[in-house]
Structure 1
């Protein structure tokens, strides 16, 4: 028998939830990026404007990935703040 009382809430399937739908591509891309980063273990020379630095390639890729994630967070936060303001 189906429940129709006030305490019954319709359940949304797990993969249909908005938070999950946004998180799944992020998790997949992050997993692939981290696998790629840690598979590249050779040392390389990197020029940082003036100094020439020798470091593992995975370190440079990890730094670039982290800066990209930071830029993404600021972009998404800025976009959501802009859309949440009401016109006066």
Structure 2
């Protein structure tokens, strides 16, 4: 015979407590991401950007989006590489 398993609703944890998916910090991050995307896509005019030697003309939203992605990747790398905290 199979042991009985407890089925819970998706928004309830195994111990019956509410799910911790939408914590205040995650909500804050989602709001900041939404505001950042609005800011990026509202700035659609073309700008000249100097990359060491060449001068590139591109939409400002593209430059902002590239910068945000590079910053997000760098932040994710640093968080992942953080040594474990000792207790």
> Which bracket does the TM-score occupy, shorter chain normalised?
0.7 to 0.9
Offset at residue 49 of structure 1 (A): 0.4
Select which of 72, 75, 85 maps to 1:72.
75
Consecutive unaligned residues of structure 2, counting only runs of 5 or more, are 1-5, 7-13
Unaligned residue ranges in structure 1 (runs of 5+): 1-6
**Residue 20 of structure 1 pairs with residue 25 of structure 2:** no
| Residue 54 (structure 1) aligned with residue 51 (structure 2) | no
From the two aligned structures, give the one with the greater helix fraction.
1
Separation in structure 1 between the aligned mates of residue 29 and residue 78 of structure 2, nearest angstrom? 15
Please name the residue that 1:83 is paired with. 84
After TM superposition, the score normalised by the length of structure 1 is 0.72
Structure 1 outlier segments of 4+, above 6 Å: none
Aligned pair count reads 74
Which structure carries more relative contact order (alpha carbon 8 Å, separation 6+)?
1
Q: Tell me the TM-score normalized by structure 2.
A: 0.72
